[in-house]
Amino acid sequence: MASSLPYNEASDIARTIPRLSDLTLADIPAELGLFPLSGALLLPEGKLPLNVYEPRYIALVEDALAAHRFIGMIQPRWQEEDEETQEALPPLYKVGCVGRITSFTERRDGTYAITLSGIARFRLLRETGLHRGYRLGRVDVSSFANDLHELPPSPFDRKKLLEALRAYFKQKGLHARWSVIEQMDDDVLLVTLPMICPFPPAEKQALLDAATLTERVRVLQMLLDLAGPQDDGPPS
């Protein structure tokens, strides 16, 4: 009588796509489909939900899902005149972030809701054309190797940062779950805050460009302080 063998979870079934925890820079292709989106900031270790409805970006998501699941998030450098025309492709910033699709839902109307997990930043070397309507770019991730295993920031004044954040949210009329924010570890805090604060695109880019977490703290504190409540002057 033949007996069935129990399923062996340790059996070596080769994965075609590495686990997030196993990713190396070598797994990131030299050419990526680009998703230019002004004001959207994806940082390494961050998670960015996106609603994808334009046909060219639906094509980008489909192609990424069929291959390595990587998308290059990058901001366009909008000029004032570009806002009036939909025809010209706006120039792009030089630094973006590789995101991997880690969840997606296909809606009945053919659009997608996806979540990108930030892997590492990239430098856009040049654009290489269009494919199915979306832009392709040759990228270099070699200078951002530390993004995969980022060092913790130098000690910083967490209380000062959160006080500035409270003032910023109050000025903008925003609400937050402060009990959750206050319990975040420093590294999680320094990924979450830059992504959720509605800074202008150029300021978001400055946070992405910051070389280290310590530098990101400095930029974030400066942006919050500059945007905080302004005094009307000394009392009369």
Burial class (CB in 10 A: 0-12, 13-18, 19+), 6: exposed
Range of lowest pLDDT (10-24, 72-86, 143-157, 159-173)? 72-86
Q: Tokens for 116, please give them.
A: 């990108």
pLDDT of the residue at 14: 79
Q: Tokens for 78, please give them.
A: 């909008």
Other CB atoms within 10 Å distance of the CB of residue 87: 5
For residue 5, is pLDDT > 90? no
The pTM for the full model equals 0.87
**Residue extents of the structural domains in the chain:** 23-146, 158-227
What is the sign of the dihedral through the CA atoms of 90, 143, 218 and 45?
A: positive
Block residue for tokens 């054309």: 129
Q: Tokens for 79, please give them.
A: 């000029």
Q: Which CATH entry fits the domain spanning 23-146: 3.30.110.40, 2.30.130.40, 3.40.640.10, 3.30.930.10?
A: 2.30.130.40
The secondary structure of the chain in percent helix, strand, coil, rounded to multiples of 5, reads 35, 25, 40
